[in-house]
Structure 1
Amino acid sequence: MAIDLCNKSPAALAESDPGSWADAGHAEPVLLDDLGTEQRDALNFAYRTTLSNVDPRFVAGDPAAWASDFGYALDRVAIRLDNRTNDELREQALKHPDPAMREQALFEYADRDHADAIELLAQAIRDDTDRQVRWDALWAVEKLGGARAVATLQRFLKDADPEIAEWSRLFTSELQTGDPAFDGRAGKSTPGRTFDETIFLLIHCDLYVRLDDSNQHWGKISLAPQGLARIYGQAHACPNVATREKQLVIAKTIDGLHTDGSPHVDNYLFRGFTDRTRRDRGNFFFESLVPRPFFKSGRADDPSQGVAQANIGFARYGTWHLEPRFQIHDEYAIRYVRGRFQGWGHVNLARIAGKPLEEVLTPGNGVLSTLHDPEVGPMTNAFILGTFKGKLNDWDGDGVIDLNSRPVYSTAEGEIDSDQDGIPDEPGLTCCDWTTRQLP
């Protein structure tokens, strides 16, 4: 099964409080560490078997509660567009010179759900020299879940890199309790910034491509965070305390697209609702609708096959968790965010057919799209959905968490702001003007 499918367990779907362990007849919870080796193996086997074989209709009742998930349906029938063998994936996951390609091999192998996937991920977490490969691999371990995943994550709780240690703590806590946990480092704000927070996002995406007009043939690419960032841009969630419950900016940059070395800026203003019935968190559903040039070539800033103007929509929903120790304007800061997203895209199949993955995962080699445009709609052939996570990190290595130090080139309304002074380069412009840029 795909590692990004929802866990449709009875507890997750129950409308009422399941009660405490004591109410269920137990004096206290049974900890994973208290289980013997055989008990752990049995628990892990039961977990994996249940996820792989259970028919959620017999768990959730009404199939409309889960079986209408388009991504769930597509995942069961789509063929993998990454045709590397398992041996090739294992080799490249550990030895490819490009960290994004090592990570892509790790996520593809994990998505195939092999028995030794967690072992391979653990080896990469231990040995890889790229810290983002390491923490993204930790996330892949969490996605696979089960007792073996918890035990693997716990091995890195005291890692020499504080960020690896905290991600390990966070993912372990999520698997055991459903909520994240953090370390005790202090936090600091960078004065004079447009945003109160600039949260680096990890995004894992399943890209389902319609291969012909019959609607009977679908392909799938499971994009790891660094591969997705290379194609569509590295994203930062940029909230301000005063407005975060109704809007925020997702600021994206693509490196390596412009010949002058400048980042390709692509900002999205999201608006929506947030539920604040709990003091320590907010549950949100936001949507974005922004004007964009649509490149029929399937590559950003490439007008070789024509350009159309369209309004591109995207949806994101999830939960942010607050940190009482970090104060911004007398309010708690967002320490961590997690959620799901979905939208539409255009993949030029002729551009990627027969190409090695290194030539597919290139800057800008994929564009977002819409169905609601008479010219662009018929070219829309990809359904994009996935999960995201982001937490505040210590980016300068001084032992203090940085709340808003990340470089983002956006005003509070999503307009491009190259010098980050809060004033737009050009009012209303939210994406780089392709007519002034030259592709390599």
Structure 2
Amino acid sequence: MAIDLCNKSNLQRNGESPATQENQPGNGLNELPVVLHTPEQRKVLELAYQSTLSYTEPRYIVGDPAAWASDFGYALDRVSMRLDSRTSEELQRQALSHPDPAMREQALYEYVDRNEADAIELLCQVVEHDANREVRWDALWAIEKLGGIQAIQGLQKFSKDADPEIAEWAKLFVSELQSGDPAFDNRNCRYTPGRTFDETIFLLIHCDLYIRLDETNQLWGKLSLAPQGLARVYGQAHACPNVETRERQLVIAKAISGLHADGSLHIDNYLFRGFTERTRPDRGNFYFESQVQRPFYLSGRADDPSQGVRDALIGFARQGCWYLDNRFKIRGADAIRYVRGRFQGWGYTNVQELAGKSLEDILRPGNGILSTLHDPVTGPLTNVFISGTFKGKLNDWDEDGYIDLNSRNVYSTVSGELDSDMDGIPDESGLSCCPGKPTIHSV
């Protein structure tokens, strides 16, 4: 069961009284009071809960299945075999002790994706003791993904953490679970002048890769990528909006470390365009798409031209919601404090080349490339459906007590072109991805 499908049926769905910790089964965290949802929100969520139940309880039928049972990712999740063959005991051990923080996190997310009974307990243990800040806040996100009363109570334990970012993430996730909207702390912000973008929002991205394993379409594999593992393979992403254009376009700027033989960053920018709904003054609901020219490596590994390279037009879609903070101003406009949403696209991986490899060997920079179905060469090779969620919050990166609006280094113009010196002028007109630098891979 995918993380985002777990435990949603455990919530009290009572139209007359809010779900609280008093009317839930004991869970060891009862000292923390919880009010889950307002009556209006519970009415909306009733349909969502019943629809989620239908995936495991066929007797539940709510409305037209075309509306609630047509998600391709959920359909694949029900039939896919796990490609991570580690036992739950191994995952638990590695989540706590693996020397690589990205692999600790990967083991943790795989454990949680299996909906183990003590998953929230393990997540809380990681948040409390792990030395890596990103592992800690990604573990908090996994708690929210599990959902339910126990998740809210687990998150509340960290709402006053010594690290302001951990405390704010915990507060934000609790608020989302209780009301649907995020909540923030009262820190002030700081704007960095002379930058191309008004905001550079560090994104947490979690996705499931559904891999077609045979030509009959009857055998599928699944690999759930935790945020740091995904960033290692596909690149760390930042959402980069400007106030004047953010409702119709933005850039997702990605950088991959360890891909090029000379040690330089691999830059990979995506210009998205779309629509935003603004009927609520502090929020924008959006749907954006991107189409960019990219070299498609037939080897299935970025920067490896050994089996040929083809230019392809790669498409990707993202939809979600951003929230403004009226205390944070950019040229008189409220800044985006937080963004969340879903995305999907297509990819290619060389299954035969990766067969028998350890997960450490598989989760290497560039070991998986984006693809398209609309090409006579890349289309038949495309074998991965990518479905996931993202969240991004403004953070205090230099720990000076101020939230940083746009201090992150991103190497893109406002049109998504490569800009290695960040002067706003493209290195080469129309080039949005740095040229390939062939690397000898050990995988």
SS of residue in 1 equivalent to 2:232: helix
* Aligned position for 1:64: 66
Q: Mark the CA change 1:30 to 1:297 in structure 2 (over 3 Å): closer, same or farther.
A: closer
Question: Residues 145-194 of structure 1, C-alpha deviation per residue, up to 9 Å, x if partnerless?
Answer: 11111110000011110000000000011111111000000001100000
Q: Mark the CA change 1:248 to 1:57 in structure 2 (over 3 Å): closer, same or farther.
A: farther
Match for 1:140 among 133, 142, 145?
Answer: 142
- Counterpart mapping for 1:233-382 below 5 A: 233-382=235-384
Match for 1:98 among 96, 100, 106?
Answer: 100
Question: Residues 197-252 of structure 1, C-alpha deviation per residue, up to 9 Å, x if partnerless?
Answer: 00000000000000000000000000000000000000000000000000000000
Which amino acid in 1 is paired with 2:261?
T
* Aligned position for 1:4: 4
Which amino acid in 1 is paired with 2:105?
E
**Counterpart-to-counterpart distance in 2, 1:100 and 1:36:** 35
Question: Under a length normalisation based on structure 1, what TM-score does the superposition of the two structures give?
Answer: 0.91
> Structure 2: which 5+ runs fail to align?
35-45
Question: Residues 383-435 of structure 1, C-alpha deviation per residue, up to 9 Å, x if partnerless?
Answer: 0010000000000000100000001000000000001110111111000111x
**Counterpart-to-counterpart distance in 1, 2:120 and 2:79:** 25
Which amino acid in 2 is paired with 1:113?
N
Alpha-carbon shift at residue 52 of structure 1 (Å)? 5.8
Establish whether residue 155 from structure 1 lines up as the match of residue 166 from structure 2: no
**Counterpart-to-counterpart distance in 2, 1:383 and 1:320:** 25
1:40–1:147 contact (8 Å) kept in structure 2 = no
**Counterpart-to-counterpart distance in 2, 1:285 and 1:205:** 18
Question: Residues 65-99 of structure 1, C-alpha deviation per residue, up to 9 Å, x if partnerless?
Answer: 12111111100000000000111101100000000
**Counterpart-to-counterpart distance in 2, 1:66 and 1:56:** 13
* Aligned position for 1:385: 387
SS of residue in 2 equivalent to 1:335: strand
SS of residue in 1 equivalent to 2:128: helix
Q: Mark the CA change 1:6 to 1:97 in structure 2 (over 3 Å): closer, same or farther.
A: closer
1:266–1:430 contact (8 Å) kept in structure 2 = yes
Alpha-carbon shift at residue 61 of structure 1 (Å)? 1.0
Question: Residues 111-157 of structure 1, C-alpha deviation per residue, up to 9 Å, x if partnerless?
Answer: 00010111111111111000000000000000001111111000001
* Aligned position for 2:427: 425
Q: Mark the CA change 1:164 to 1:8 in structure 2 (over 3 Å): closer, same or farther.
A: closer
SS of residue in 2 equivalent to 1:60: coil
Which amino acid in 2 is paired with 1:4?
D
1:206–1:223 contact (8 Å) kept in structure 2 = yes
Which amino acid in 2 is paired with 1:346?
Y
> Structure 1: which 5+ runs fail to align?
12-17
Which amino acid in 1 is paired with 2:265?
P
The farther-off stretch of 338-347 and 65-74 is 65-74
Q: Mark the CA change 1:25 to 1:122 in structure 2 (over 3 Å): closer, same or farther.
A: closer
**Counterpart-to-counterpart distance in 1, 2:367 and 2:119:** 28
SS of residue in 2 equivalent to 1:94: helix
Q: Mark the CA change 1:30 to 1:73 in structure 2 (over 3 Å): closer, same or farther.
A: closer
**Counterpart-to-counterpart distance in 1, 2:438 and 2:74:** 39
**Counterpart-to-counterpart distance in 2, 1:258 and 1:349:** 22
Which amino acid in 1 is paired with 2:397?
W
Which amino acid in 1 is paired with 2:3?
I
Alpha-carbon shift at residue 259 of structure 1 (Å)? 2.1
Question: Under a length normalisation based on structure 2, what TM-score does the superposition of the two structures give?
Answer: 0.91
Q: Mark the CA change 1:25 to 1:125 in structure 2 (over 3 Å): closer, same or farther.
A: closer
- Counterpart mapping for 1:210-225 below 5 A: 210-225=212-227
SS of residue in 1 equivalent to 2:334: strand
1:257–1:439 contact (8 Å) kept in structure 2 = no
**Counterpart-to-counterpart distance in 2, 1:56 and 1:421:** 57
**Counterpart-to-counterpart distance in 1, 2:61 and 2:144:** 23
Alpha-carbon shift at residue 262 of structure 1 (Å)? 1.3
SS of residue in 2 equivalent to 1:390: strand
SS of residue in 1 equivalent to 2:4: coil
Q: Mark the CA change 1:404 to 1:277 in structure 2 (over 3 Å): closer, same or farther.
A: same
1:339–1:387 contact (8 Å) kept in structure 2 = yes
Alpha-carbon shift at residue 329 of structure 1 (Å)? 1.6
